[in-house]
Amino acid sequence: MAMPENRKRPTTDTAQSARNPTAPDNPPSPGARVNVAVRVRPLSEHESKTSSIIRVVGHNCLVFEVKAEAEPFYSQGQRACGGLVKPNQTFMFDHVFDEDKNNEYIFEHTTKEMPTSFFDGCNIFVFAYGATGAGKTFTILGPEECPGVAS
């Protein structure tokens, strides 16, 4: 059964670049409905004792490099991830920012043009999603010396 014409997902430059991890950063396309940006935060002091399982590839790709023999991860006394480990899982997004990118850089590449889009009649919405301590508030609001993307 074909999807009704008004329900088809638009094809955008951003969606096309998400398939190409070597594509340069593109601002969100005006025709895109949702643009997803992922920020990899620096490892904490405790986490830095082990190696990171996340590798940023290009501007649009994350690879989770979990070793099959890795120790299970526990959170609040419960095993957080059960089942078989799938090494080298690849995920594509509109933007992926490594731990070296600051709030200003992320603002320039994600939300800077949103007010213009809003005044051109587009709806805009920015939100952060992630685990406690992942850096959501830091990215959205930021401290006084390094304002976030919505400040």
Q: Is 137 annotated as a binding residue?
A: yes
- C-alpha distances (whole Å) from 84 to each of 18, 55, 81, 97, 141 are 28, 20, 9, 28, 38
The candidate with the shortest Cα–Cα distance to 113, out of 28, 42, 13, 19, is 28
Q: Is 83 annotated as a binding residue?
A: no
- State the Cα torsion 104-110-111-113 to the nearest 10°: 110
Report the pLDDT value the prediction gives residue 81, as an integer from 0 to 100: 59
Q: Is 111 annotated as a binding residue?
A: no
Report the pLDDT value the prediction gives residue 85, as an integer from 0 to 100: 61
Residue 22: pLDDT band with limits 50, 70, 90: very low
Please tell me the least confidently modeled range out of 25-34, 116-125, 128-137, 141-150: 25-34
Report the pLDDT value the prediction gives residue 82, as an integer from 0 to 100: 56
Q: Is 121 annotated as a binding residue?
A: no
CA distance 88 to 104: 30
Report the pLDDT value the prediction gives residue 53, as an integer from 0 to 100: 84
pLDDT tens per residue, range 114-132:
999 889 988 888 999 998 9
pLDDT tens per residue, range 41-83:
988 888 888 878 889 999 999 998 877 665 666 666 666 655 5
pLDDT tens per residue, range 88-109:
889 999 999 999 999 999 999 9
Q: Is 130 annotated as a binding residue?
A: yes
Report the pLDDT value the prediction gives residue 90, as an integer from 0 to 100: 92
The amino acid at residue 109 is: H
Name all domains of the chain by residue range, CATH numbers in brackets: 11-140 (3.40.850.10)
The amino acid at residue 60 is: N
